[in-house]
A = this chain, B = another copy of it.
């Protein structure tokens, strides 16, 4: 037995969760939405649409687009996106610790009883 959950930020529907978080971290790391999408096994068109929806719901731009050029272009996340990602990363980490802690506190005694009952 273990605890599981999905968490997201809602703003007129699902606005931001682990999917966009990982995708934007990928853009930050690789400098390319193409590459970030590929790493997640996500079609580029899907990744692009996802970020457009997130931008609309959060109300600020996520990507500074640099199109063309010898390098073949690329993407960079905005300052606001960077701050938001840092915030979400800490939020997510704390929720994980807290949920697991609360789960353990309430269900460890129960699991002990259960194990004893199952072993006869």
Contact = CB atoms under 8 A, between A and B. Distances in A.
A5 B4 contact: no
A99 B95 contact: yes
Tallying the copies of this chain within the complex gives 2
Given A106-B87, A114-B59, A118-B59, A99 B4 contact: no
Contacts of A58: 1
Interface residues of A, number: 34
Chain A interface, DSSP helix/strand/loop, else mixed: helix
Contacts of A59: 114, 118
Contacts of A46: none
Interface of A: 1-11, 14-15, 58-60, 83-84, 87-88, 90-91, 94-95, 98-99, 102-103, 106-107, 110, 114, 117-118
